[in-house]
Every structure is written in structure tokens, then in C-alpha cells.
Amino acid sequence: MSSPARYYPDAQAFLADHPRRPRTLCFTNGCFDLIHPGHVQYLEDARALGDFLVLGLNSDASVARLKGPSRPLQDEEARARVLLGLRSVDAVVRFGEDTPLELITALQPDLLIKGGDYTPETVVGREVVEARGGKVVLIPFLPGHSTSVIVARILSGRGVLA
């Protein structure tokens, strides 16, 4: 299976394919192992803030280091395909490090967007973005949706109504 269009192995490939910078480049990142309504709402809200949303996607190895040996549940290409099926995501760029700092430094986004479980001080790359006049934006979570809760429910054999 070949990699989907708009899925880039690294920042250099993305930058080569986009020599003209979008007016307002938004960036967010994560594992996005099982897409749920909270992810969809978050990405729609993030995309509404600018002209182009780049999603930094943790590599399989990075997810395993961060979440444990049973993760990811889907490989990085499958996760990218699902994400690129959403209208809100303009491009997915893979990164293999535990944090997206190198990717943020290379892309220099105007807006760095993270979920409501962060504070501005804990957002990796904040200094890079703010140094060039960009902003960090925190978007609240849609209550009741969590990949960890879904995984626990599956492993316990419980359905949504159980």
C-alpha cells in the first residue's frame, strides 16, 4: 500500500511540497490512535483558526515509547489515512521524536494548538512560535471522549451501554 498524498515523512518533504507558506499556518500534534468525536471536534476547531492545518503525527516507535508496548493500535500510515479523510486536516507530517519540537522549529507555524489538558507553559515549542510572533491556542476537550477509556472498554469486553 503506498503512502497517501498529503502525508509527509518529515518536515523537509512537506516544505519542499509547499514552497509558498500559507497565510496562517496552524499546527497540532499527537498519536491519534483511535479517532473519536473529541478528536474530530478538536481538529475542526483547530482548522477554523487559520488557513492550513498541519498535523504532526507521532511515529509508531514514538507512540510505543509514550503509551507503552501495546500501542499504537493502528500503524502510522493507517492513522494518517484516517486523519487525511477529515476535511479539517490539510497535511500530516510524521515525526519520530518523543516531542514535536524539531518539527515545530522547521515549520515555524503561526498558531500552535493543543488540547485543554495543557497549559501554555507545558506546550512543547511555545518559545519557538512566540519568538516569531505566533500564538499558542488551547482548545477545550469535548467531554466524555477519550482513547484510553475506549481501549479500556474494549479490553474489558464492555460495550458503550454496559
Q: Is residue 162 part of a domain?
A: no
**Measured in whole angstroms, how far is the alpha carbon of residue 142 from the centre of its chain?**
16
Quote the pLDDT of residue 22: 87
Residue 66 sits in which domain range? 7-156
What is the CATH number for 20? Answer: 3.40.50.620
Count of domains for the chain: 1
Q: Is residue 43 part of a domain?
A: yes
Cell of 25: 499556518
3-state secondary structure of 140: coil
Residue 62 has pLDDT above 50, yes or no: yes
Q: What is the pTM assigned to this prediction? A: 0.89
Q: Is residue 124 part of a domain?
A: yes
Residue 144 has pLDDT above 70, yes or no: no
- Name the pLDDT band for 2 (thresholds 50, 70, 90): very low
Q: Is residue 106 part of a domain?
A: yes
Rounded CA-CA distance 94/96 in Å is: 7
Q: Is residue 55 part of a domain?
A: yes
- Name the pLDDT band for 117 (thresholds 50, 70, 90): confident
- Asked which of 44-53, 71-80, 97-106, 147-156 is least confident by mean pLDDT, the reply is 147-156
Q: Is residue 131 part of a domain?
A: yes
- The contacts of residue 161 (CB under 8 Å, 6+ apart) are none
Q: Is residue 1 part of a domain?
A: no
Amino acid at 103: L
Q: Is residue 90 part of a domain?
A: yes
State mean pLDDT over 143-161: 70
3-state secondary structure of 35: coil
State mean pLDDT over 110-115: 97
Residue 52: which of 12, 88, 80, 105 has the closest Cα?
A: 88
Other CB atoms closer than 10 Å to residue 22's CB: what's the count? 16
Quote the pLDDT of residue 143: 64
Quote the pLDDT of residue 116: 86
Q: Are 145 and 37 in contact (CB under 8 A)?
A: yes
Quote the pLDDT of residue 3: 52
